[in-house]
Amino acid sequence: MDKPTYSPDGKFMWTGSEWIPAPPTSEPEQPAPSEQALNMQDSVIGRDVVHSTVINNDPTAVTTAVITALQQLGMVGQEPAAPQAPPTPEVELPATFSVGDHVEYHSPTNERWLNRCTVVGVNDDGTYRIEVPKSSKVETKHAVVIGSSPGTIRPAALPYKVGNRVLVNWKNYGNYYPGTIATGHDNNTFFIQFDDGDVEDNVEWGRIEALQEDSVEVQDYMESVLGAEQELIEAFQVFDENGTGTIPARKYFEILTEIGDDPISVDDVLEEFASLGIGLDSEIDYRELAKYMASSEDDAEPVHHKPEVVIRDAEINDGDLYGYAYAHPKLGEGPVRTSQIMGVQFDARATARVETRNTVYVVGPTGWKVKPADHPFNALYAVGEQIKVEWQGSWWDANIIEINGANHLIHYAGFDSSWDEWITSERMQKIV
């Protein structure tokens, strides 16, 4: 009989078609201790994280807290991307939605349905507040209704199915790893089998991107991340004398404070470990820690290290940038379509720098074929700006909370949201 395949934490077993809880074992098989020499750079220490954890000497909880401590020690990481799903066909409209429901929002700006949106509130007037993931941020729409026209919401269809190859934002740390959807659940979450043997259950679709395996950029990314992860695992295995998959927190404390050209101070590490309840007698799951560290070895390169390519006739469509490049380092001169946009920044002269995974594309103030909605030339007012608003002959203090073309959703200072209204610039004045 073939030896069963277990997940790295030993909690699940692969039947050939699905993952099931693993039966208890009397004495787990232990691999021989590694005899390799440790070669770990201080550059693998600092990353970003989004979780805080209460510690009960559980390796997974301790590991999460260790990562949290690294962030609180002043380490810098990157924000996770918010991918967008493709449009879906017309669907039957329900009478109501509830908080937490997944919906699609018909963006008037993008002129298409945006998937992965979530209902986060129901207003007194029956309208809904929703969160809409964009390429570089999450926007909140404060008063939308059910429908099929621009500015409305409808039920969202599942964008993935069992067997799909995907990139997953592992544990929502902002680090993407390749894997396969093994199981789908009724609550629209998924069980993921990662290529490195790890598993994660109850993964929301907002943390999943379709894996374009024919993309050279994606292939390079996967090779880099998986290779770096394996190197870190092999380095940590030096301290795993019993082959348990964990190392003592005391040993990792020594790594943080003694190894590298610029180690962290003992006092800082002790303070953060104590604040998060990390005991020096705890155990850390080093495979999980290596997974978290590895993805920033190459792909988290600062923007100024990426080549800049000037393009014209630029247009953003479905989260990608289209245009005509003058001197692309790999493609030369000609039309380009980029990978998923990670962020767009405008300088004081309205020149845009559009960042993708490997390149920064520079678009001049008039270099757009279709200007994006947040282009400085598009609006006299900005979301969050404090203004004066005319109402029945008097001027009142207000804030702009959303802009849709020439229309501005404003909130009157000192009044509840029932007074919020959409107005045009004729009733608006800047505060001098």
- For 305-347, write each residue's pLDDT tens digit: 577 888 999 999 888 899 998 877 767 788 888 878 888 888 7
Q: For the segment 176-234, what is each residue's pLDDT rounded down to a tens digit?
A: 888 999 998 877 789 999 988 888 998 887 678 878 777 777 777 778 778 888 888 88
Provide the pLDDT for residue 17.
65
CB 178 within 8 A of CB 186: no
- The single-letter code of the amino acid at 312 is R
Residue 3 or residue 400, greater confidence: 400
Provide the pLDDT for residue 34.
37
CA quadruple 253, 254, 257, 259: dihedral sign? negative
CB 205 within 8 A of CB 188: yes
Provide the pLDDT for residue 390.
92
| pLDDT at position 404 over 50 | yes
Query: What is the mean pLDDT of the segment spanning 291-315?
Result: 65
Query: What is the mean pLDDT of the segment spanning 347-376?
Result: 83
Separation of alpha carbons 25 and 12, rounded Å: 12
Q: What is the mean pLDDT of the chain?
A: 76
Provide the pLDDT for residue 80.
39
Query: What is the mean pLDDT of the segment spanning 171-178?
Result: 80
Residues 78-97: b if buried by 16+ CB within 10 A, e if exposed:
bebbbbbbeeeeeeeeeeeb
**Widest distance between CA atoms in the chain:** 85
Residue 136 or residue 343, greater confidence: 343
| pLDDT at position 50 over 60 | no
CB 280 within 8 A of CB 253: yes
Provide the pLDDT for residue 182.
93
| pLDDT at position 378 over 90 | no
Separation of alpha carbons 147 and 145, rounded Å: 6
Report the percent of the chain where pLDDT is more than 90.
15
Separation of alpha carbons 340 and 330, rounded Å: 17
Q: Among candidates 317, 314, 352, 357, which has minimal Cα distance to 335?
A: 314
Separation of alpha carbons 53 and 61, rounded Å: 6
| pLDDT at position 360 over 80 | yes
| pLDDT at position 403 over 60 | yes
Q: What tokens appear for 320 in the block?
A: 């990608």
Provide the pLDDT for residue 211.
83
Helix H or strand E segment including 202: strand 199-204
| pLDDT at position 303 over 50 | no
Report the percent of the chain where pLDDT is more than 70.
75
Query: What is the mean pLDDT of the segment spanning 373-380?
Result: 73
| pLDDT at position 422 over 90 | yes
Q: For the segment 81-113, what is each residue's pLDDT rounded down to a tens digit?
A: 433 333 334 567 888 999 988 888 988 877 777
pTM value? 0.43
Instruction: Grade residue 33 by pLDDT with cuts at 50, 70 and 90.
Output: very low
Provide the pLDDT for residue 1.
47
